[in-house]
Amino acid sequence: MIASAFLRWSNRLRCRCITALTVAMTAGGASSAQADVLDTVQVHGFMSQALIMSRHNDFFGPSSQSGGSLQYTEIGANISMRPTKDLLVSAQVLSRRAGDDNSDYEPKLDYGLLDYQFVTDNSRVLGVQVGKIKQPFGIYNQTRDVAFTRPGILLPQSIYFDRTRAPALSSEGVSVYGEEHLSSGMLYFQAGLGKANTDNNVKNTIWDSRVPASIDGALSSIGQIGYEHDSGNIIAALTVAEANIDIDGPRAAPDRYSFRPIIMSLQYNHGYWSLTGEYALRRQSFTGGDHDDHITGESWYIQYTHRFLEDWQWLLRYDSLVNDRADPKGRQFEADGRGAAHSQFARDWTLGLQWNATSNLLLSTEYHHVNGTGWLPKDQDTSDQYWGMLLFQASWRF
């Protein structure tokens, strides 16, 4: 069988070593059991800088002002080593600025883990990871911080929210995974338990900033099962998760927020083009105190990417988000005096272009035409319903 040429550029669903860079860096170290441990040490890094110019609404800084915003920066470095052929030690530090909330560029541990494979043969792999682990959330989450693995500058915001990326990105705990190699493809799974990560962006999204409270991650879980057919020409997966966050606020306030998404993912790769779609039901609840509130949101996107002239790729995507299926246009939300109706949905058309100028330099641009502000911060609820955004990004890796 001949693997799709697109797979050289496509992000893969399964990523045991957390990033595509880490997989590449460890391959040589695992090739010989007698290799000196120091010979397996690999260090890689990346950095990205974007310019964002928008009409009416701001995204990642004052993007609607003259000159746009440069407040979207990602700088990361990762290191790995194999003390034995079955044990991988891997970590990545990331400094990220995505608007004013992250203006200090504080470096944070993106992931850090021990990965032990206790079964490895031609037909089966079983392993366990312990530490701060990237979540197997949909197709792109495990490599979302590396621009070279993303189909565009921004991932579909209906599923891969940037404003609440912390609990979806990683958790501190334990994860088990496995692969079963079949004659027609590969079946795989990953399941984990850990403490959900939180930050100010998460707090501002789920909580009214006018009411004092603190939040902290609680025990959460995630599981994904998937299948890759014919060397990855078809990729299908089902992800189920529960992220829990404890709230310490006034007596009558809820004491727990829970987010329970179900995501169905499907990708078809053929030659130099790829068609990807994901659909999610997003159940959210506030419980405790005087509250027992439950809503179910709906998200989906369909995305076409085509690589041409070997080093160029263009993208077309339609992305849809509804915060509450029972109130898809937000009319009841606005009637209750809770905010603008258009803050409860977003429909985004995206057109993008990427150029791999060299093996280490990626230049990207994309335009978004958006109806609704469902994935913008709450403080923009009164902004314009119809808005647009143009992004440019330069990314480098070593």
* pLDDT tens digits, 346-388: 999 999 999 999 999 999 999 999 999 998 876 655 579 999 9
Task: Indicate if the pLDDT at residue 114 is higher than 80.
Answer: yes
> Lowest-confidence range among 7-11, 89-93, 208-212, 366-370?
7-11
Q: What is the pLDDT of residue 139?
A: 93
- pLDDT exceeds cutoff 60 at 54: yes
In this predicted structure, what is the pLDDT of residue 333? 92
Q: Yes or no: say if 279 and 299 are a contact pair by the CB < 8 Å rule.
A: yes
For residue 167, give both structure tokens: 């609990």
DSSP 229-245: ETTTTEEEEEEEEEEEE
pLDDT of residue 9: 35
Give me the domains of the chain, ranges plus CATH numbers.
Answer: 5-397 (2.40.160.10)
Q: What is the mean pLDDT of residues 142-167?
A: 89
- Taking only the tens place, the pLDDT of each residue in 187-236 is 999 999 999 888 777 877 777 666 677 888 889 999 999 999 988 899 99
The answer, yes or no, to whether residue 244 has pLDDT greater than 70, is: yes
Burial class (CB in 10 A: 0-12, 13-18, 19+), 364: buried
Q: What is the pLDDT of residue 27?
A: 41
Q: What is the CA radius of gyration of the chain?
A: 21
Percent of the chain, pLDDT > 90? 60
- pTM higher than 0.85 for the full model? yes
275's tokens? 């068609």
The Cα 141–Cα 156 span in angstroms is 11
- pLDDT tens-place string over residues 166-195: 788 888 999 999 999 998 999 999 999 999
Q: Give the model's confidence band at 104: pLDDT under 50 very low, under 70 low, under 90 confident, else very high.
A: low
* pLDDT the model gives residue 26: 42
Provide the H-helix boundaries in the chain.
Answer: 20-27, 165-169, 200-206, 331-335
Q: What average pLDDT does the structure give for the chain?
A: 86
> Among all chains, which residue has been given the structure tokens 């990602």?
74
Q: Enumerate the H helices of 279-383 as residue ranges.
A: 331-335
pLDDT in tens, 295-350: 999 999 999 999 998 899 999 999 999 999 999 999 999 999 888 999 999 999 99
238: pLDDT strictly greater than 60:
yes
